[in-house]
Chain A
Amino acid sequence: AQTVTQSQPEMSVQEAETVTLSCTYDTSESDYYLFWYKQPPSRQMILVIRQEAYKQQNATENRFSVNFQKAAKSFSLKISDSQLGDAAMYFCAYTGTASKLTFGTGTRLQVTL
Protein backbone atom coordinates (compact mmCIF):
# COMPACT_ATOMS: atom_id res chain seq x y z
CA ALA A 1 0.00 0.00 0.00
CA GLN A 2 1.07 3.52 -0.67
CA THR A 3 1.82 5.85 2.21
CA VAL A 4 2.37 9.59 2.38
CA THR A 5 4.25 11.18 5.27
CA GLN A 6 4.32 14.82 6.28
CA SER A 7 6.67 15.21 9.20
CA GLN A 8 5.94 18.85 9.96
CA PRO A 9 2.62 19.27 11.82
CA GLU A 10 3.05 23.04 11.90
CA MET A 11 5.21 25.60 10.14
CA SER A 12 5.44 29.35 10.43
CA VAL A 13 6.71 31.90 7.93
CA GLN A 14 6.89 35.65 7.86
CA GLU A 15 5.07 37.51 5.16
CA ALA A 16 7.16 37.86 1.97
CA GLU A 17 9.54 35.12 3.07
CA THR A 18 9.97 31.62 1.64
CA VAL A 19 8.93 28.37 3.30
CA THR A 20 9.32 24.72 2.32
CA LEU A 21 6.91 22.00 3.35
CA SER A 22 8.18 18.42 3.34
CA CYS A 23 6.54 15.28 2.04
CA THR A 24 7.80 11.76 1.50
CA TYR A 25 5.94 8.84 0.06
CA ASP A 26 6.34 5.15 -0.39
CA THR A 27 5.24 3.21 -3.44
CA SER A 28 6.28 0.36 -5.67
CA GLU A 29 4.48 1.81 -8.68
CA SER A 30 6.36 3.49 -11.49
CA ASP A 31 3.47 5.55 -12.86
CA TYR A 32 1.85 7.93 -10.42
CA TYR A 33 0.96 11.52 -9.69
CA LEU A 34 1.66 13.73 -6.70
CA PHE A 35 -0.32 16.73 -5.53
CA TRP A 36 -0.28 19.48 -2.97
CA TYR A 37 -3.68 20.60 -1.76
CA LYS A 38 -4.49 23.63 0.36
CA GLN A 39 -7.36 23.58 2.85
CA PRO A 40 -8.15 27.06 4.21
CA PRO A 41 -10.52 27.62 7.16
CA SER A 42 -13.46 27.27 4.78
CA ARG A 43 -12.33 23.62 4.42
CA GLN A 44 -12.65 23.70 0.63
CA MET A 45 -9.85 21.62 -0.85
CA ILE A 46 -7.88 23.62 -3.40
CA LEU A 47 -5.34 22.09 -5.74
CA VAL A 48 -2.06 24.00 -5.46
CA ILE A 49 0.25 22.06 -7.75
CA ARG A 50 0.65 18.64 -9.33
CA GLN A 51 3.55 16.56 -10.63
CA GLU A 52 3.65 13.56 -12.92
CA ALA A 53 6.19 11.00 -11.79
CA TYR A 54 7.57 10.48 -15.28
CA LYS A 55 8.48 14.15 -15.62
CA GLN A 56 11.91 15.09 -14.34
CA GLN A 57 11.17 18.79 -14.47
CA ASN A 58 9.81 20.21 -11.24
CA ALA A 59 6.34 21.73 -11.50
CA THR A 60 5.84 25.42 -10.81
CA GLU A 61 2.69 27.51 -10.42
CA ASN A 62 3.45 31.19 -9.83
CA ARG A 63 4.81 31.42 -6.25
CA PHE A 64 4.51 27.67 -5.69
CA SER A 65 7.10 25.15 -6.81
CA VAL A 66 8.03 21.61 -5.95
CA ASN A 67 11.27 19.75 -5.48
CA PHE A 68 10.52 16.27 -6.77
CA GLN A 69 13.20 13.72 -5.96
CA LYS A 70 11.90 10.45 -7.39
CA ALA A 71 14.70 8.21 -6.18
CA ALA A 72 14.38 9.56 -2.66
CA LYS A 73 10.56 9.53 -2.90
CA SER A 74 10.45 13.11 -1.76
CA PHE A 75 8.05 15.82 -2.90
CA SER A 76 8.47 19.14 -1.09
CA LEU A 77 6.51 22.34 -1.69
CA LYS A 78 8.20 25.73 -1.73
CA ILE A 79 6.09 28.84 -1.26
CA SER A 80 7.87 32.04 -2.22
CA ASP A 81 6.88 35.57 -1.21
CA SER A 82 4.44 34.18 1.35
CA GLN A 83 1.16 36.01 1.75
CA LEU A 84 -1.36 36.10 4.58
CA GLY A 85 -3.77 34.23 2.34
CA ASP A 86 -1.38 31.29 2.18
CA ALA A 87 -2.21 30.43 5.79
CA ALA A 88 -3.96 27.05 5.68
CA MET A 89 -3.54 23.32 6.07
CA TYR A 90 -1.47 21.82 3.29
CA PHE A 91 -1.87 18.20 2.32
CA CYS A 92 0.49 16.18 0.16
CA ALA A 93 -1.32 13.49 -1.83
CA TYR A 94 -0.50 10.52 -4.04
CA THR A 95 -2.49 8.72 -6.71
CA GLY A 96 -1.42 5.79 -8.81
CA THR A 97 -2.97 2.96 -10.76
CA ALA A 98 -5.74 2.51 -8.20
CA SER A 99 -6.83 6.08 -8.97
CA LYS A 100 -7.45 6.73 -5.28
CA LEU A 101 -5.93 9.67 -3.46
CA THR A 102 -3.82 8.94 -0.40
CA PHE A 103 -3.27 12.00 1.76
CA GLY A 104 -0.56 12.85 4.23
CA THR A 105 -1.43 14.04 7.72
CA GLY A 106 -1.09 17.68 6.76
CA THR A 107 1.01 20.68 7.72
CA ARG A 108 -0.59 23.75 9.23
CA LEU A 109 1.08 26.86 7.83
CA GLN A 110 0.94 30.12 9.75
CA VAL A 111 1.91 33.38 8.07
CA THR A 112 2.98 36.17 10.37
CA LEU A 113 3.41 39.87 9.73
Chain B
Amino acid sequence: GAVVSQHPSWVICKSGTSVKIECRSLDFQATTMFWYRQFPKQSLMLMATSNEGSKATYEQGVEKDKFLINHASLTLSTLTVTSAHPEDSSFYICSARDFSGRGGSYNEQFFGPGTRLTVL
Protein backbone atom coordinates (compact mmCIF):
# COMPACT_ATOMS: atom_id res chain seq x y z
CA GLY B 1 0.00 0.00 0.00
CA ALA B 2 0.83 3.73 -0.12
CA VAL B 3 2.26 3.61 -3.62
CA VAL B 4 3.23 6.72 -5.54
CA SER B 5 4.13 6.60 -9.22
CA GLN B 6 5.84 9.09 -11.47
CA HIS B 7 5.78 9.36 -15.23
CA PRO B 8 7.99 9.46 -17.14
CA SER B 9 10.89 7.86 -15.28
CA TRP B 10 13.30 9.68 -17.55
CA VAL B 11 13.00 12.28 -20.27
CA ILE B 12 15.36 14.03 -22.64
CA CYS B 13 14.27 17.26 -24.25
CA LYS B 14 15.68 20.12 -26.27
CA SER B 15 16.42 23.47 -24.72
CA GLY B 16 13.43 25.79 -24.90
CA THR B 17 10.78 23.10 -24.79
CA SER B 18 8.42 22.31 -21.93
CA VAL B 19 8.25 19.02 -20.07
CA LYS B 20 5.44 17.68 -17.90
CA ILE B 21 6.03 15.20 -15.08
CA GLU B 22 3.11 13.38 -13.49
CA CYS B 23 2.87 12.19 -9.90
CA ARG B 24 0.07 9.82 -8.93
CA SER B 25 -1.00 8.29 -5.64
CA LEU B 26 -2.21 4.84 -6.65
CA ASP B 27 -4.01 3.53 -3.59
CA PHE B 28 -4.83 6.55 -1.48
CA GLN B 29 -6.03 10.09 -1.79
CA ALA B 30 -3.27 12.64 -1.47
CA THR B 31 -4.48 15.94 -0.13
CA THR B 32 -0.95 17.26 -0.26
CA MET B 33 1.88 16.51 -2.65
CA PHE B 34 5.43 17.75 -2.59
CA TRP B 35 7.98 18.26 -5.36
CA TYR B 36 11.69 17.91 -4.72
CA ARG B 37 14.77 18.39 -6.82
CA GLN B 38 17.94 16.40 -6.30
CA PHE B 39 21.26 17.16 -7.94
CA PRO B 40 23.87 14.37 -8.23
CA LYS B 41 25.30 13.33 -4.89
CA GLN B 42 23.24 15.95 -3.09
CA SER B 43 20.23 15.96 -0.83
CA LEU B 44 16.60 16.53 -1.70
CA MET B 45 15.55 20.15 -1.88
CA LEU B 46 11.88 20.97 -1.55
CA MET B 47 10.63 23.01 -4.49
CA ALA B 48 6.96 23.38 -3.71
CA THR B 49 3.97 22.05 -1.83
CA SER B 50 0.70 21.52 -3.64
CA ASN B 51 -2.70 21.05 -2.09
CA GLU B 52 -5.57 19.66 -4.09
CA GLY B 53 -7.68 22.42 -5.56
CA SER B 54 -5.47 25.32 -4.57
CA LYS B 55 -2.35 27.07 -5.76
CA ALA B 56 1.01 25.58 -4.95
CA THR B 57 3.27 27.12 -2.34
CA TYR B 58 6.79 27.55 -3.66
CA GLU B 59 9.96 27.59 -1.62
CA GLN B 60 12.14 30.65 -1.65
CA GLY B 61 14.24 30.88 -4.79
CA VAL B 62 12.04 28.60 -6.89
CA GLU B 63 10.62 30.29 -9.97
CA LYS B 64 6.90 29.64 -10.00
CA ASP B 65 6.56 30.67 -13.64
CA LYS B 66 9.19 28.16 -14.65
CA PHE B 67 8.02 25.25 -12.54
CA LEU B 68 4.26 25.09 -12.94
CA ILE B 69 2.49 22.81 -10.50
CA ASN B 70 -1.09 21.63 -10.82
CA HIS B 71 -2.86 19.43 -8.27
CA ALA B 72 -6.18 19.01 -10.00
CA SER B 73 -7.33 15.85 -8.26
CA LEU B 74 -6.71 13.92 -5.07
CA THR B 75 -4.52 11.43 -6.92
CA LEU B 76 -2.63 13.53 -9.45
CA SER B 77 -0.16 16.38 -9.35
CA THR B 78 1.84 17.59 -12.32
CA LEU B 79 5.07 19.55 -12.57
CA THR B 80 5.71 21.34 -15.85
CA VAL B 81 9.18 22.66 -16.49
CA THR B 82 8.63 25.48 -18.96
CA SER B 83 11.24 26.64 -21.46
CA ALA B 84 13.70 24.12 -20.10
CA HIS B 85 17.41 24.84 -20.16
CA PRO B 86 20.40 22.60 -19.45
CA GLU B 87 20.65 23.93 -15.90
CA ASP B 88 17.18 22.46 -15.25
CA SER B 89 18.60 18.99 -15.79
CA SER B 90 18.12 17.16 -12.52
CA PHE B 91 16.31 14.35 -10.73
CA TYR B 92 12.79 15.35 -9.73
CA ILE B 93 11.00 13.46 -6.97
CA CYS B 94 7.43 13.81 -5.78
CA SER B 95 5.90 12.66 -2.54
CA ALA B 96 2.37 12.49 -1.22
CA ARG B 97 0.66 12.62 2.13
CA ASP B 98 -2.56 10.92 3.11
CA PHE B 99 -4.22 12.91 5.87
CA SER B 100 -7.05 10.44 6.08
CA GLY B 101 -5.03 8.04 8.17
CA ARG B 102 -2.24 6.07 6.56
CA GLY B 103 0.97 7.69 7.66
CA GLY B 104 -0.99 10.71 8.77
CA SER B 105 -0.16 10.49 12.44
CA TYR B 106 3.53 10.59 11.59
CA ASN B 107 3.31 13.29 8.92
CA GLU B 108 4.83 10.62 6.74
CA GLN B 109 5.38 11.26 3.07
CA PHE B 110 5.31 8.48 0.48
CA PHE B 111 7.80 8.98 -2.33
CA GLY B 112 7.61 8.35 -6.04
CA PRO B 113 10.51 6.71 -7.88
CA GLY B 114 11.69 9.99 -9.41
CA THR B 115 12.10 11.40 -12.90
CA ARG B 116 15.45 12.10 -14.47
CA LEU B 117 15.30 15.16 -16.73
CA THR B 118 18.07 15.88 -19.20
CA VAL B 119 17.88 19.08 -21.22
CA LEU B 120 20.13 19.21 -24.25
A residues in contact (CB < 8 Å) with B: 33, 35, 42-45, 47, 50, 52, 91, 95, 99-106
**Which A residues lie within 8 Å of B43 (CB)?**
91, 103-106
Is A95 touching B113 in the complex (CB atoms < 8 A)? no
**Which B residues lie within 8 Å of A52 (CB)?**
106
Is B34 touching A45 in the complex (CB atoms < 8 A)? no
**Which B residues lie within 8 Å of A102 (CB)?**
46
Partner among B44, B107, B114 whose Cβ is within 8 Å of the Cβ of A103:
B44
**Bound complex: CA A103 to CA B95 (Å):** 14
6 A-B pairs within 8 Å (CB atoms) are namely: A33-B108, A44-B111, A44-B114, A45-B93, A101-B109, A105-B43
**Which B residues lie within 8 Å of A44 (CB)?**
111, 113-114
B residues in contact (CB < 8 Å) with A: 32, 34, 38, 42-46, 49, 91, 93, 95, 97, 106-109, 111, 113-114
Output the least CB separation between A7 and chain B (Å).
14
CB nearest to A108 among chain B residues: B41
Most buried by A among B34, B44, B91, B114: B44
Interface of B is mostly: strand
Partner among A43, A47, A91, A106 whose Cβ is within 8 Å of the Cβ of B91:
A43
**Which B residues lie within 8 Å of A100 (CB)?**
34, 46, 49
Partner among B38, B93, B106, B114 whose Cβ is within 8 Å of the Cβ of A33:
B106
Output the least CB separation between A112 and chain B (Å).
20
**Bound complex: CA A99 to CA B51 (Å):** 12
**Bound complex: CA A12 to CA B64 (Å):** 41
Is B32 touching A99 in the complex (CB atoms < 8 A)? yes
**Which B residues lie within 8 Å of A33 (CB)?**
106-108
**Bound complex: CA A105 to CA B38 (Å):** 11
Is B34 touching A42 in the complex (CB atoms < 8 A)? no
**Which B residues lie within 8 Å of A103 (CB)?**
43-45
**Bound complex: CA A101 to CA B44 (Å):** 9
